[in-house]
């Protein structure tokens, strides 16, 4: 397993954690306003790590001669995420689109 594959797997795990945290926020599984405030910074930190991991995975895949272009749609969707409002349908739909694009891209780049 090379660095590109390791990066793809680690980013996928971070994306899964981001989605689980986002769903918990969306469904109100946190405890009141204070719980939402406490969960917000890890959500943003995970988002940053997923964007960084996707970019690094694409670069490592390109360096290894794999299909790095397959990760570019996921990266584009991730970078469009701040344009949506948290808690709104557009936000979670785009998040699911990002996850699907990343999954397909990681599969193609593997």
Count Cβ atoms within 10 A of the Cβ of residue 99 and give its class: 0-12 exposed, 13-18 middle, 19 or more buried.
Answer: buried
pLDDT in tens, 19-59: 999 888 888 776 666 667 777 889 999 999 999 999 999 99
With 0.85 as the threshold, say if the pTM is over it.
Answer: yes
Split at pLDDT 50, 70, 90, the class of 107 is very high
State the average pLDDT for the chain: 91
Residue the block writes with tokens 């397909």: 104
Domain-wise residue ranges, the chain? 3-109
Split at pLDDT 50, 70, 90, the class of 99 is very high
């Amino acid at each position: 397993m090379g660095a590109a594959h390791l990066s793809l797997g680690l980013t996928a795990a971070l994306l899964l954690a981001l989605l689980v945290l986002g769903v918990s926020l969306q469904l109100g599984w946190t405890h009141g306003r204070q719980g939402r405030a406490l969960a917000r910074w890890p959500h943003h930190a995970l988002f940053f790590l997923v964007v960084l991991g996707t970019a690094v995975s694409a670069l490592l895949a390109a360096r290894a001669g794999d299909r790095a272009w397959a990760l570019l749609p996921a990266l584009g969707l991730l970078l469009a995420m701040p344009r949506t409002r948290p808690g709104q349908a557009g936000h979670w739909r785009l998040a699911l689109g990002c996850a699907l694009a990343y999954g397909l891209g990681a599969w193609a780049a593997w």
